[in-house]
Amino acid sequence: MPIWLQRQKYLIDFTLASLLRRRAKNLGLLLVYALIVFALASVMLYTHALRHEAAHVLAGAPEIVLQRMVAGRHDLIGEEHIARIGQVRGVQTKAGRLWGYFYDPAVKANYTLMVPPDREIAPGDAIIGAGIARTRGLSAGDYLTLRGSDGKAHTLRVAGLLDARSELVSSDLVLVAEPFFRAFFGIPAGQYTDVALRVRNAQEVRKVAEKLTLLLPDTRPILRDEVLRTYDAIFNWRQGVVAVLLLGAILAFVVFAWDKASGLSAEERREIGILKAIGWETSDVIRMKFWEGAIVSLTAFLLGYLAAYAHVFLADAALFEPVLKGWAVLYPRFALVPTVDGLQLATLFFFTVFPYTVATIVPIWRAAITDPDTVMR
């Protein structure tokens, strides 16, 4: 083994032993440190997973959705509009969509009613999201009665439940057949909520949207990438806000670390004095202290990160779900898909290990320059 490597090994061995000898003092530091990592990592893992989820959901969405606007408000779009889109180059398919919201006073929640474009549903049947099933206590075969726009009660037979995998958006969904939808909301035949367009080449999406606004001046195209971008911005922003809030905690932690590192006990001071007297050099002591910091940081980082991972992905982020998610009464109770990425880890590192190290540099140096002859006085 090369000499420098063996030297580091000796230093690490000795440092580990000293850390264990002063267990009580170091445990406090470790706990606070791990708590900081835990809080930050939880926020990051959670928002990252939500963003991932949203992106996953949108991946199957149409590239462009076209809405008709009347006096600045979203209105129904007719078949003649769809016909006028005609042969815009690059558009692969176009289809009118039917969907809308329904407020259910029974559970004080909004449902999303929708006619699925890709599956046949028998008239009178419905497929419902897990959130609705939970709050109304429904399972397949039960009946769900809703009051339509005509004031009459419409009854649906629950034919099945939606896959819970992307519950974030499907939680409040009710899938129904087209005739039912039109009757329930009173939408005449030939009218749609909006139009979904598929564009094969991603580079052409903007061009197609431009042509559409020229061709149909009373419509507004919504691009999938735009939605995704908005989601990203919102999630990033929320993450940023939480990080700013946690900045106070990080500063407190820095002060704490500084205090711990500079408040050496008489025993530790004596120890460093002895080491220097028997032949350790100032840089050896700095290196030893560096290893001490590295060991503490690594342990705290691992503990905090693993705890955060468990918190977010096993305990469904129980601690701050209401703050970061809650936008509906029907709480989606979905299992987030665990995602970890380098950017996140690096950011977390800079929010925790970096401030800790900055806080300890000067105290470490101060301890390391202890006069070697102190032990003789």
Partner 1 sequence: MIELVDVRKAFNQGRPNEFWAIRGVSLTVDANRVTVLKGPSGSGKTTLLSMIGCLSRPTAGRILFETQLLSGLPERFLTAVRRGTFGFIFQQFNLIKGVTVLENVMLPAYPLGGPRRRLEARAHDLLAQFGLAAKAGYRVEWLSGGEAQRTAICRALVNDPRVLVADEPTANLDTQLSRDFMGIVGDLRAAGKTVLLSSHDPEVYDSPVVDRVVEMRDGRLAGG
Partner 2 sequence: MLLNPAVLALLAVSAVVTLLMTLAAAFAVRVLRHWDITSGSERQLRLERRTYLIATLVAFCCGAEALSLLLFVYNAEAMHTQFVGAMCATGVLNVNRWGWPTLFLQIAAFFAGAVWLTLNRLDNQGWDYPLIRVKYGLLLGIVPLVAAGAVVQALYFLNLQPDVITSCCGALFSPDSAGVAGEVAGTAPRDAAVALGASGVLVAGSGAWLLRRGSGGWVFGGSALAAFLVALAAVVSLIALYVYEHPHHHCPFCVLKAGHDHVGYWLYLPLFAGAALALGAAAVAPWRGVPSLAAAVPGETRRLTWLALAGFGLFYAVAAWTILRSGLTMVGVWW
Binding residues vs partner 2 (CB under 8 A) = 44, 206, 225, 228-229, 232-233, 236-237, 239-241, 243-244, 282-283, 286, 341-343, 346-347, 349-351, 354, 357-358, 361-362, 364-365, 368-369
Closest CA to 323 of 56, 42, 37: 42
Least distance to partner 1, CB of residue 266, Å: 12
Place of tokens 């690490």: 12
Least distance to partner 2, CB of residue 271, Å: 19
Among 105, 278, 342, 343, binds partner 1 (CB under 8 A): 278
Among 3, 153, 189, 266, binds partner 1 (CB under 8 A): 3
Among partner 1, partner 2, none, what binds residue 14 when CB lies within 5 to 8 Å by partner kind?
partner 1
Q: Which residues of 248-269 are buried (b: 16+ CB within 10 A; e: fewer)?
A: eebeebbebbbebbeebeeeee
Q: Does 4 bind partner 1 (CB under 8 A)?
A: yes
Among 146, 187, 345, 375, binds partner 1 (CB under 8 A): 375
Place of tokens 């530091």: 29
Alpha carbon of 116 to those of 170, 178, 303, 358: distances in Å? 12, 9, 45, 57
Among partner 2, partner 1, none, what binds residue 17 when CB lies within 5 to 8 Å by partner kind?
partner 1
CA 45, 46, 51 angle in degrees (round to 5)? Answer: 100
Part of the chain binding partner 1 (CB under 8 A), chosen from 11-19, 48-56, 229-237, 300-308: 11-19
Annotate each residue in 279-318 with x if it binds partner 1 (CB under 8 A) or - if it does not, as one string: xxxxxx----------------------------------
Q: Under 8 Å CB-to-CB from 49, ≥6 apart: which residues?
A: 312, 313, 336, 337, 338, 339
What strands lie across the sheet with 99-104, from one edge to the other?
A: 99-104, 109-114, 173-176, 125-128, 153-161, 143-147
Alpha carbon of 290 to those of 1, 173, 214, 347, 360: distances in Å? 21, 55, 65, 21, 9
Query: Alpha-carbon distance 234 to 349, whole Å?
Result: 23
Among partner 1, partner 2, none, what binds residue 174 when CB lies within 5 to 8 Å by partner kind?
none
Among partner 1, partner 2, none, what binds residue 347 when CB lies within 5 to 8 Å by partner kind?
partner 2
Least distance to partner 2, CB of residue 255, Å: 15
Least distance to partner 2, CB of residue 291, Å: 14
Least distance to partner 1, CB of residue 15, Å: 11
Report which secondary-structure segment, H or E, holds 94: strand 91-97
Q: Which residues of 173-203 are buried (b: 16+ CB within 10 A; e: fewer)?
A: bbbbbeebbbbbbebeeebbbbbbbebeeee
CA 296, 300, 303 angle in degrees (round to 5)? Answer: 140
Query: How many other C-beta atoms lie within 10 A of the C-beta of residue 39?
Result: 22
Annotate each residue in 345-374 with x if it binds partner 1 (CB under 8 A) or - if it does not, as one string: --------------------------xxx-
Query: Alpha-carbon distance 110 to 181, whole Å?
Result: 16
Part of the chain binding partner 1 (CB under 8 A), chosen from 4-12, 88-96, 102-110, 296-304: 4-12
Among partner 1, partner 2, none, what binds residue 157 when CB lies within 5 to 8 Å by partner kind?
none
Among partner 2, partner 1, none, what binds residue 232 when CB lies within 5 to 8 Å by partner kind?
partner 2
> For partner 1, which is the closer residue by CB, 13 or 341?
13
Query: Alpha-carbon distance 77 to 29, whole Å?
Result: 63
Residue 118 is given by DSSP the state S
Among partner 2, partner 1, none, what binds residue 44 when CB lies within 5 to 8 Å by partner kind?
partner 2
Q: Which two tokens mark 214?
A: 């020229």
Number of residues that bind partner 1 (CB under 8 A): 32
Least distance to partner 2, CB of residue 232, Å: 5
Binding-site ranges for partner 1 (CB under 8 A):
1, 3-7, 9-11, 14, 17, 21, 267, 270-271, 274-284, 371-373, 375-377
